[in-house]
């Protein structure tokens, strides 16, 4: 059990038959009245964010989130296939369950499966990936007054905004959390 007075960023708790991760917290001690803890909570299963206040003495069970390394093998229609590299067990997940978490992941790359009570609720791609640009328009000289960017399609089919000097066939590094271009490799 975790008391609200011990809340920290990243802690996961079980509340109202859901699992929430603490994104932000703030201990507030007003001049009058009792202290309280103001939080922003992210529902792990559906991604919704709620704001809630707690008394510091309230206690909630801490949710056990398991992270396991899996290899993304291939997509077969609307099913995505993964393999546990230790036991070689394979698992298929539907497109609805995955969402857009694999838009920067190539086949045979490692991802992390997040599970709670044996149920997979999210897939974490690697933080940074290197992908080849398959299609982009040429940049024009003189269009650089405000750090101009142009859309580019990478080998996984996702669209990334890159600087004008990046051309088709270049390999670039991408931050998968934000989808931002980092550098040319």
Nearest to 27 by CA among 44, 3, 61: 3
Give the C-alpha distances (Å, rounded to integers) separating 27 from 30, 34, 58, 115: 10, 11, 13, 30
95-124: per-residue pLDDT in tens?
A: 777 777 788 888 888 888 888 887 777 788
When the pLDDT of each residue in the chain is averaged and rounded to a whole number, the result is 84
Give the C-alpha distances (Å, rounded to integers) separating 69 from 17, 62, 113: 27, 22, 6
Work out the percent of the chain whose per-residue pLDDT is above 70: 96
Looking at the DSSP bridge assignments, the partners of residue 53 are 38
Q: Above 60 in pLDDT, residue 143?
A: no
Residue 59 CA neighbour count, 13 Å, CB half: 3
> In a 3-state reduction of DSSP, which class is residue 61?
coil
For the chain, the distance separating the N- and C-terminal CA atoms, rounded to the nearest angstrom, is 47
pLDDT band at 142 (very low <50, low <70, confident <90, very high): low
* Domains of the chain, earliest start first: 2-60 (2.30.30.30), 66-124 (2.40.50.140), 128-184 (2.40.50.140)
pLDDT band at 141 (very low <50, low <70, confident <90, very high): low
pTM: 0.66
- Are 99 and 105 within 8 A, CB to CB? no
5-63: per-residue pLDDT in tens?
A: 888 887 888 888 888 888 888 888 888 888 898 999 888 777 788 899 988 888 888 88
């Amino acid at each position: 059990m975790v008391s609200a007075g011990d809340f920290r960023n990243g802690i996961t708790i079980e509340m109202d038959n859901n699992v929430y991760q603490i994104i932000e917290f703030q201990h507030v001690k007003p001049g009058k009245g009792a202290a309280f803890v103001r939080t922003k909570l992210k529902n792990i299963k559906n991604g919704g964010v709620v704001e809630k206040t707690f008394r510091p003495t309230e206690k909630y069970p801490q949710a056990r989130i398991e992270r396991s390394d899996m290899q993304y093998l291939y997509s077969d229609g609307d099913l995505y296939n993964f393999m546990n590299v230790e036991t070689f067990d394979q698992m298929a997940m539907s497109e609805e369950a995955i969402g857009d978490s694999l838009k920067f992941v190539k086949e045979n790359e490692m991802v992390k499966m997040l599970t709670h009570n044996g149920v997979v609720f999210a897939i974490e791609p690697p933080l940074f990936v290197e992908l080849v640009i398959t299609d982009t328009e040429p940049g024009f000289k003189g269009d650089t007054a405000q750090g101009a960017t142009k859309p580019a399609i990478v080998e996984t089919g996702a669209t990334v905004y890159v600087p004008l000097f990046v051309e088709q066939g270049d390999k670039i590094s991408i931050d998968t959390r934000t989808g931002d271009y980092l550098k040319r490799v």
